Amino acid sequence: MPGSKRPIRVLVAKPGLDGHDRGAKVVAAALRDAGMEVIYTGLHQTPEMIAQAAIQEDVDVVGLSILSGAHLTLFPRVKQLLVAAGRDDVLVTGGGIIPPADMEALQQQGIGKLFGPGTPTSDLVRYIEEWAAEHVSA
């Protein structure tokens, strides 16, 4: 269609040793249902694997699902790898079991809004769509 924008491309990833991915799959389905292109990397991804996949897939957003408590290490590492590869334009966001003080500390390091358990998927969709409207060109 002339003048239509391409879909927002989102990589959903489960870094670290956390073996629970039901939430990540629910989020991936909700984003897909909202018209986004979603790539789900599966369990046990290293930050390096996630950043490489994000670059190869030319995504706009990386959504990390972390329940293991390693969020203060994993979010900044993925962001650092993307920046080092020249992709500081990628939004790194996500959710999981993350205390509010840690969410604030991560956002001060350039990580996007983070979401806790029970957040309606419509909140995630709205956040990504609003971010993309300002940052993603057609």
**How far apart (Å, rounded) are the C-alpha atoms in residues 124 and 129?**
9
Q: Percentage of the chain surpassing pLDDT 70?
A: 96
1 has a pLDDT exceeding 50: no
3: left (phi over 0), alpha (psi -120 to 50) or beta: left
CB atoms within 10 A of CB 32: 15
| Banded model confidence at residue 72, pLDDT cuts 50, 70, 90 | very high
Domain 9-133 has CATH 3.30.70.890: no
pLDDT, one tens digit per residue, over 97-133 is 999 999 999 999 999 999 999 999 999 999 999 999 9
Segments making up each domain of the chain, as ranges:
9-133
* Secondary structure (3-state) at 84: helix
